[in-house]
Structure 1
């Protein structure tokens, strides 16, 4: 995964944060559910200090929120917040595509994207969590190719929230297969230097994700 992957950190607080993130992604922890610090202290054999640090990290990433007299709970997203997050993602990726230049210098990243697609192809398409992680990796490489630290930093700040939301769009095997094929088309167009055409497909790809999340979270929109 890209060097700035927010999930890659071996400190105890980050391990605990990753555990909680995985529980949110899997649905084990639901929006509004309280995070019980004592459970994680017991599981990891630690004091409350690393737990509280992990909760601080997750609050910064927008996955939990602190509510007076309740403590830390899993964040639920309003309809506007969901659309804001997904549209910000589209805007940043679209801007990154416009920054693509000198593809010869991007070959190492293109190779990583090819390897990511191979991993997608080899994955059990019913494993929506693993696919969501690979999907995020591919999109982070797109951002990386822009060469813009500003775009990369802004995108990374949204990564955990987007990961949780995007997983909801890959709950059906057909959606996973469709997504893989779209990634292949996007990368093929980029390799041919057809960046604008790739951007159009990327926009359609992202619109599809928005539609699927819309049907999952906001069924009244059907």
Structure 2
């Protein structure tokens, strides 16, 4: 204890909890990403209020947030609805995301600490297990963690912030892309190839694999839109 009566222990900051607004936004975003709310579906405040057990006010506020994120739109006299996927926007989004994530993978090949590498290996192993079990939901959850992990540890805050904003609009496209069994298996193999490149410390190969991975995801989504336009 010092002269001021302090014990010398660092005061812990209280753990931040998600606000009601954040929870409702996260729930609605998940519904849109996974297709529970389809492109073009109307967002019925009364129904969602009952489903989520909240009043209509946080639903309205969440709709505003998701509109800014590019997931919801409100055409005149029609009310809020899930924004349809736009092929031109998807193509542009994945072109940019492919470049950003390729740079992140390039950095990861030489910059990850042993502890970070172990965490990445663990995520990859769990994702592979979900793939083997045919659990798309769990696979997508872990897949997203891996992509975000590489970006987070790129050492480039501008890359990280730009990627985060773009993924608010692109994440549902990545989910739809793996609904194709062929693309899902192909994507899993590309993850395996990336891990080999990272273990070898081959930054050029890691970047090349990851850029192709994201480009092919975008192409798979575009093909899906052509077959089932939304």
Deviation at 1:94, TM superposition (A): 2.5
Distance 2:46 2:150 in 1: 40
TM-score, scaled to structure 2: 0.81
Deviation at 1:163, TM superposition (A): 1.7
- The 3 A distance-change label for structure 1 pair 196 and 163 is same
Given candidates 190, 214, 220, the residue that maps to 1:212 is: 220
Given candidates 107, 126, 130, the residue that maps to 1:123 is: 130
Given candidates 115, 120, 142, the residue that maps to 1:113 is: 120
Matched with 1:10 is: 18
Matched with 2:190 is: 182
CA RMSD of aligned residues (A): 2.4
The answer on whether the counterparts of 1:168 and 1:213 sit within 8 Å (CA) in structure 2 is yes
The answer on whether the counterparts of 1:92 and 1:155 sit within 8 Å (CA) in structure 2 is yes
Distance 2:184 2:91 in 1: 21
SS class of match (2:201): coil
- The 3 A distance-change label for structure 1 pair 98 and 114 is closer
Deviation at 1:51, TM superposition (A): 1.0
SS class of match (2:29): helix
Higher RCO (Cα < 8 Å, 6 or more apart): 2
Matched with 1:56 is: 64
The answer on whether the counterparts of 1:35 and 1:73 sit within 8 Å (CA) in structure 2 is yes
Matched with 1:172 is: 180
Matched with 2:10 is: none
Distance 2:181 2:85 in 1: 25
SS class of match (2:80): strand
The answer on whether the counterparts of 1:61 and 1:161 sit within 8 Å (CA) in structure 2 is yes
SS class of match (1:154): helix
The answer on whether the counterparts of 1:186 and 1:198 sit within 8 Å (CA) in structure 2 is yes
Which sections of structure 2, spanning at least 5 residues, go unmatched? 1-15
Which sections of structure 1, spanning at least 5 residues, go unmatched? 1-7
- The 3 A distance-change label for structure 1 pair 135 and 93 is same
SS class of match (1:87): helix
Cα distance per residue 1:51-80 (max 9 Å; x no partner): 122112212222112222222210112221
Given candidates 67, 74, 88, the residue that maps to 1:66 is: 74
Deviating beyond 4 angstroms after TM superposition, the runs of 4 or more aligned structure 1 residues are 98-102
The answer on whether the counterparts of 1:116 and 1:138 sit within 8 Å (CA) in structure 2 is yes
Given candidates 80, 91, 102, the residue that maps to 1:83 is: 91
SS class of match (1:214): helix
Deviation at 1:156, TM superposition (A): 0.8
TM-score, scaled to structure 1: 0.84
- The 3 A distance-change label for structure 1 pair 9 and 87 is farther
